[in-house]
Homo-oligomer: A and B are copies of this chain.
Amino acid sequence: MPPRTRPAKPAALDERAAAQLAELFRAFSDTSRIRIISALADGNEKNVSALAEAADVSESAVSHHMRGLRQMRLVRARKSGRQVFYRLDGDHVVALFKQGLDHVRHG
């Protein structure tokens, strides 16, 4: 076997992965965003005003949150006329959300 580059820390996370992981979890770390994501967890897309009502926050606040979630590729946006419909991007997002729910319920 060739000599390993960092023999002292075998399975540790590199700095990049740690930062990405923290960032991912941070996306779920706010009550309003949890309610937004929860509203999208049924797989049906919803526009901003629907999300605002479901999550009980202003439409402006929703818009701010969605920008972050969009940049992290956790949601996808579809523009139709003057409305923008959001949906969760991929199964991983739902899986992570449900895993968290599972912990809260019986953990």
Chain A residues proximal to chain B, CB less than 8 Å: 9, 11-13, 17-22, 24-26, 28-31, 33-35, 38-39, 42, 54, 73, 90, 92-93, 95-96, 99-105, 107
Known: A92-B107, A96-B103. A35 touches B11 (CB 8 A): no
Complex copy number for this chain = 2
Q: B22–A38 contact, CB under 8 A?
A: no
Main secondary structure of the interface of A (DSSP, over half): helix
User: Which residues of the other chain, B, contact A95 by a CB distance below 8 angstroms?
Assistant: 99, 103
Q: B39–A100 contact, CB under 8 A?
A: no
Q: A20-B104, A25-B34 are in contact. List 5 more A-B contacts (CB 8 A).
A: A13-B34, A21-B104, A73-B107, A96-B96, A96-B99
